Structure 1
């Protein structure tokens, strides 16, 4: 199945806010780590997440601020 990559997506677009099945990659730009965390946490979906960073310390710090998983169930 071909992969769909969508760039220049804005946070208020439906594709950024709704759960999408496919192989689909949505790219959102951000200017700061705080903005990236807000974007990641700004959806009602978030069963899992992944972080890539320049160092393990940065990745761990960022990941600790993500709201993912089943903690509210």
Structure 2
């Protein structure tokens, strides 16, 4: 697996994030084929990377209610 330098990317916080910085994520749009995702409460912690098509499918499924709720 190839290592990706995320030290200079621009992070965007979830629109569902609240003022208290509750359970939310940040994503970066800096890579055309990959979407890095990190926990906004731990910005210096690890980030997961997803193929852009996989991330788009996940977001679409969440928005349309296709995933079961916990």
TM-score by length of 1: 0.25
TM-score by length of 2: 0.25
Could you say which structure has the greater relative contact order, defined with CA pairs below 8 angstroms and 6 or more residues apart?
1
1 or 2, which has the higher helix percentage?
1
